[in-house]
């Protein structure tokens, strides 16, 4: 009775008295030489049946290392009976936990990798402000502020940023200011009304005072704003600070006029353009002209140590041109310093510069750079301050830029340097 109940539990629906034709672990009553159970009947028909089954068995491959299935109705009936008779327990109804665990592990590993790639948060607190350097409008939209990190390719032999690097930051913030204000047309800093009239801005004068030079990895904060200059011009000012300490790095001011793109002549500011830009004017000067002082008078040539240096054969490269097809104004500074003696560059640093732009320089121009050095010894401090006059001109004669620079010994406090004011 117990055996009948056990058998009925594993084979529900099959009679208890009828034993299965093939049960795993049991040996049939009669086996042939191939280990296949022999059936009663005539020897000839049994042999033919066995031969047919042998061919069928040979044609069916094994799957996953298991025995091949018999392609006969009896075996099919037995297989279906065995599969349908498999016990339904709690264990064999559970999901494949190994596959689920592998999927979860893969997801966690992928998430960890993505988190590592997205973990851009800087380790230094001075880089938390304006990390990507997009810039923003401040002071109720009258001033634009943008941060720059000093890159390794922007520093020179003395491990500090060059004057050209700082000047490029000034130019970049000026253009981003116009763009953020929604006034950028299809020109280089031109407003939509200027673009309609083929007008663009050109700088006529620029003055910069350098307090100190930032180093590799420093983050500088650049503020810029615009204001009116006379009846037919515009002024733009900048103030560069250390983003951590707030100390001044550079102050600069510039004067801009309009030029016609086709005639290459100066033009008056149209009323439509003035209406566009006047709401953004902020009357605040970064460099104060106390008592309208002019540049300090240079020492008398007879009583001072004067030296002259010339560099010829300077030509602009294609990369030196901007979209207005003339040489970028920052490039002129590099050409001016080409004629400065190496002894000045090694022992002194540029404290201030005033540039007076006379005419534009094109792609086919050939220039020459002249530098006159005046040595001035301070009797009180005992330190030597250098005053230099620069002239950049075409080899054919016309002047491109006139400039004045002042140099202080490296390591000197900015307060001890003489600061010129623009004329």
Number of Cα atoms under 13 Å in the Cβ half of residue 140 = 4
Residues in the chain: 423
Q: Are 400 and 359 in contact (CB under 8 A)?
A: yes
Report residue 357's pLDDT band, with 50, 70 and 90 as the boundaries.
very high
Query: Does residue 61 lie in a domain region?
Result: no
316 and 378 assigned to the same domain: yes
Q: Which of 17-31, 81-95, 188-202 has the highest mean pLDDT?
A: 188-202
Query: Does residue 210 lie in a domain region?
Result: yes
Choosing from 326, 348, 387, 390, which is the catalytic residue?
Answer: 326
Higher per-residue confidence, 128 vs 341: 341
159 and 257 assigned to the same domain: yes
Residue 250: exposure state from Cβ atoms within 10 A (0-12, 13-18, ≥19): buried
Q: Mean pLDDT, to the nearest integer, of 347-362?
A: 92
The pLDDT, as a whole number, for residue 81 is 47
Query: Does residue 112 lie in a domain region?
Result: no
The pLDDT, as a whole number, for residue 325 is 78
Query: Does residue 241 lie in a domain region?
Result: yes
Active site residue 378: no
Query: Does residue 89 lie in a domain region?
Result: no
Choosing from 324, 328, 387, 388, which is the catalytic residue?
Answer: 324
Query: Does residue 72 lie in a domain region?
Result: no
Choosing from 361, 387, 388, 390, which is the catalytic residue?
Answer: 361
Q: Are 224 and 247 in contact (CB under 8 A)?
A: no
163 and 262 assigned to the same domain: yes
pLDDT in tens, 129-172: 444 557 899 999 999 999 999 999 999 888 999 999 999 999 99
The pLDDT, as a whole number, for residue 367 is 93
Active site residue 326: yes
CATH number at residue 283: 3.10.129.10
Host domain of residue 331: 306-412
Q: Mean pLDDT, to the nearest integer, of 242-254?
A: 95
CA dist 16 and 8 (Å) reads: 6
pLDDT in tens, 250-295: 999 999 999 998 898 999 999 999 999 999 999 888 887 543 344 4
The pLDDT, as a whole number, for residue 116 is 55
Complete DSSP assignment for 61-72: PPSTTPPPPP-S
Domain count, the chain: 2
Q: Is the pLDDT of residue 18 over 80?
A: no
Active site residue 57: no
206 and 345 assigned to the same domain: no
The pLDDT, as a whole number, for residue 35 is 46
pTM tops 0.85: no
Query: Does residue 248 lie in a domain region?
Result: yes
Instruction: Report which of 71, 201, 183, 73 is spatially closest to residue 137, judged by C-alpha positions.
Output: 183
Query: Does residue 43 lie in a domain region?
Result: no
Q: Is the pLDDT of residue 306 over 90?
A: no
């Amino acid at each position: 009775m117990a055996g009948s109940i056990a058998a009925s539990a594993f084979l529900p629906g099959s009679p208890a008295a009828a034993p299965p034709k093939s049960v795993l672990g049991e040996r049939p009553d009669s086996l042939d030489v191939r280990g296949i159970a022999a059936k009663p009947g005539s020897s000839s028909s049994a042999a033919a049946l066995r031969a047919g089954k042998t061919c069928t068995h040979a044609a069916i491959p094994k799957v996953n290392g298991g025995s091949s299935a018999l392609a006969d109705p009896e075996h099919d009936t037995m297989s279906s009976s065995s599969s349908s008779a498999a016990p339904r327990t709690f264990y064999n109804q559970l999901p494949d936990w190994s596959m689920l665990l592998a999927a979860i592990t893969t997801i966690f590993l992928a998430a960890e990798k993505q988190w590592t790639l997205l973990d851009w948060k800087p380790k230094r607190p001075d880089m938390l402000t304006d990390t990507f350097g997009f810039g923003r409008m401040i002071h109720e939209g009258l001033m634009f502020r943008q941060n720059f990190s000093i890159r390794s390719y922007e520093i020179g032999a003395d491990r500090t940023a060059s004057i050209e690097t700082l000047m490029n930051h000034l130019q970049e913030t000026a253009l981003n200011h116009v763009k953020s204000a929604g006034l950028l047309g299809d020109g280089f800093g031109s407003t939509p009304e200027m673009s309609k009239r083929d007008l663009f801005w050109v700088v006529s004068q620029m003055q910069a005072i350098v307090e100190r030079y930032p180093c590799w990895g420093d983050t500088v904060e650049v503020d810029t704003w615009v204001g009116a200059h006379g009846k037919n011009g515009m002024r733009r000012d900048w103030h560069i600070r250390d983003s951590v300490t707030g100390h001044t790095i550079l102050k600069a001011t510039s004067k801009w006029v309009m030029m016609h793109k086709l005639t290459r002549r100066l033009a008056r500011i149209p009323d439509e353009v003035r209406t566009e830009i006047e709401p953004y004017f902020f009357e605040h000067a970064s460099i104060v002209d106390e008592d309208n002082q002019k540049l300090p008078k240079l020492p008398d040539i007879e009583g001072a140590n004067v030296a002259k240096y010339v560099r010829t054969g300077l030509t602009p490269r294609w990369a030196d041109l901007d979209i207005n097809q003339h040489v970028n104004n920052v490039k002129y500074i590099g050409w001016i310093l080409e004629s400065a003696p190496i002894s000045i560059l090694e022992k002194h640093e540029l404290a201030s510069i005033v540039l007076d732009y006379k005419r534009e320089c094109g792609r086919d121009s050939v220039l020459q750079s002249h530098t006159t050095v005046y040595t001035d010894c301070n009797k009180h401090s005992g330190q030597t301050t250098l005053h230099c006059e620069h002239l950049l001109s075409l080899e054919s004669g016309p002047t491109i830029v006139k400039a004045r620079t002042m140099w202080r010994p490296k390591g000197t406090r900015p307060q001890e340097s003489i600061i010129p004011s623009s004329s």
